[in-house]
Amino acid sequence: MAKQLTADICIIGGGSGGLSVAAGASQMGASTVLVEGGKMGGDCLNFGCVPSKALIAAAKKAAALNDAEKFGVSGPPPDVDFGAVMNHVAGVIAGIAPHDSVARFESLGVDVLRGYARFVSANEIEVDDRRVKARRFVIATGSRATAPPIPGLEDAGYLTNETIFENRVKPKHLLIIGGGPIGLEMAQAHARLGSKVTVLEAFKAFGRDDPEMSAVVLAQLRAEGIGIREEVKISNVAKETDGSYRITLGKDATTETLQGSHLLVAAGRVANVEKLNLEAAGVEYSAKGIVVDNRLRSSNKKIFAIGDAAGGYQFTHIANYHAGIVIRNALFRLPAKVNYAAVPWVTFTDPELANVGLNEAAAREKHGDKIKILNFPFADIDRARTERQTKGCIKVITTKGGKILGACIVGPHAGELIHPWGVAITGKLKIGTMASYIAPYPTFGEISKRAAGTYYTASLFSPGTRRLVRFLSFFG
C-alpha cells in the first residue's frame, strides 16, 4: 500500500524556481510538498550559473595578471593549477548549497520527498512508494543539455554543462560544439586558464543577439586566441585510442579534421518533462516543454509549469519571476499574468553582453521606422578610461516619442549596468527620466545617462535652438 500525503500545493523540482515557490507557499501558510530526485538547487546551483561564474571569475584573475603591464605593473605569468581552480568552483557550490538544502526547507515546514514524480491522475502523483494528492501542482523540472544528431557523437562521449565542472585535468585543446552563450563563456574561461580552444558553430555565433554588439565580444575572443568557426558542418566525431577526439568537418565536397583532448557540447537544451506521465493528468506538452497560458497554467488548470519546463525563456531569473506569478495565482486566486516586456539576459564573457526588452531587429519588426537608436561608447566614459576598459558601447531603442523599448550593452559590467533599463521599461519611464537623473562621477554607470542624453542632441543643437538663444539674448 502506497503511503499517502495530501497538500495544498506540490512542487515537482527543487531547482531555483521550485524552491522559490516552496519557500513562499510554506511561509504563507500552505501545506507544501516538494519533490526532487536529483540535486537540490537544480541546474543553476550545481551545473549552470554558479559553477560557470565561479570558473569565469578564476579565469579573470589569470587574465588580469597577464594584462597588468599596461598599468605599469609587471610580474611572472600566472601559474594555473587547474585542479585547484575546480576546487574553488566546488567550494562556491558548497557554500551556497545549505541555502537550498533539504534541511533548510524542512525547517520552513516543507515536506521534502526525494525521488522522481509521475502523475497517476489529474490531481495525484506517485514518488516511489508514496503518493501525493494536492489541490495545486507546480512543475519546475528544468531542462538538460541536448546534442545535435552528429554521426559518432554519442559513441564518442562528450562533456556537457553537467559534467565539465567535474573535470580536474586542464584540456590541452578543448573542442566546443555550439557558439551560443554557454559555449563562448566556457571557451574564454578555459582559454584564459591556459587551454587551446576551438568553437564550432553550425550557424552564426551569438545567433540570437544583436550582431553589431556581439561582434565586439567575438573580436575580443578571437584576439585572445580562441578559434571560432561559424557555419560549419560536422560530418563525424570519433574518439581515438589515446582518449582524444577527432572531428571531421565537411562542406562543399571538402573535408578537414580537428584533433582535441576534450569535447564539450553546448548546442541546446530540452525540457525535463517526458517522464512525468503528463497524459494521466491531462497536461498538454511538446518537445519544447509544457504548454501554458499567460498565467502559467497548463491544460489542466490545477497544474502550473514554470522556468525551463514551461518551454520559453531558459533563464534562472525567469524561473524565479514565474514563481511569484504562480504564488499569486495558486494561493491567492489572483489572475496574475506574465509580462515579458523587460526580460533581461546576460552573457558573462569579457566584455559582457547584456540585453533587456526589444533589440533593434525586434523593435523594427514591431514599430517599423518609428524608432530611434541611441548609441554611446565606453571610450567616452572617463571611468572606463582609468581602467583601460574602453571596448564596447550601449545601444538604446526608443520610440520617436521617447518610450524606452529596449537596451543592449557590450562592455565592462554590462550585466550590472543593464538593471536601470529594466526598471525603466517595467515602470514605463520615458527617456527623459534616464537623461535627467544625477549620475555620480566617475562611474561606468554614466554611460546610461550619456546615451539617454543623445535623444535630445539633434533638437538641442539645432539651428532653431541657436536662433531662440540669440533672440532671448536681446532681453538682457
pLDDT at 14 over 80: yes
Say how many residues make up the chain: 476
CA 28-95-142 angle, to 5 degrees, is 60
CB 249 within 8 A of CB 255: yes
pLDDT at 279 over 80: yes
DSSP annotation of 76 reads: P
pLDDT at 387 over 80: yes
By C-alpha distance, which of 415, 409, 332, 411 is closest to 374?
A: 409
Q: What percent of the chain has pLDDT over 90?
A: 91
From CA 408, how far away is CA 213, in angstroms rounded? 8
Give 1's pLDDT tier (boundaries 50, 70, 90). low
CATH superfamily of 3-40+101-145+270-330: FAD/NAD(P)-binding domain (3.50.50.60)
CB 146 within 8 A of CB 267: yes
Domains 3-40+101-145+270-330 and 153-268 share a fold: yes
Third-level CATH fold of 344-460: Enolase-like; domain 1 (3.30.390)
* Predicted structure pTM score: 0.94
Mean predicted lDDT score pLDDT of the chain: 95
**pLDDT at residue 252 in the model:** 61
- One-letter identity of residue 227: G
pLDDT at 253 over 80: no
**pLDDT at residue 399 in the model:** 97
**pLDDT at residue 461 in the model:** 80
By C-alpha distance, which of 49, 28, 165, 23 is closest to 101?
A: 23
**pLDDT at residue 38 in the model:** 95
By C-alpha distance, which of 250, 260, 198, 265 is closest to 229?
A: 198
**pLDDT at residue 402 in the model:** 97
436, 438, 441, 446 alpha-carbon torsion, rounded to 10°: -40
Q: Give pLDDT tens digits for 107-152.
A: 999 999 999 999 999 999 999 999 999 999 999 999 999 999 999 9
**pLDDT at residue 3 in the model:** 86
SS3 content of the chain, % helix, strand, coil (to 5): 40, 25, 35
Third-level CATH fold of 153-268: FAD/NAD(P)-binding domain (3.50.50)
Give 466's pLDDT tier (boundaries 50, 70, 90). confident
Q: Give pLDDT tens digits for 84-110.
A: 999 999 999 999 999 999 999 999 999
Give 350's pLDDT tier (boundaries 50, 70, 90). very high
269-292: average pLDDT: 96
**pLDDT at residue 251 in the model:** 67
Q: How far is CA 115 from CA 35, 42, 56, 250, in A?
A: 7, 14, 33, 44
Q: Where are the domains of the chain?
A: 3-40+101-145+270-330, 153-268, 344-460
Q: Give pLDDT tens digits for 177-231.
A: 999 999 999 999 999 999 999 999 999 999 999 999 999 999 999 999 999 999 9
CA within 13 Å, CB half, 166: 8
374-403: average pLDDT: 97
Q: Give pLDDT tens digits for 18-76.
A: 999 999 999 999 999 999 999 999 999 999 999 999 999 999 999 999 888 889 998 88
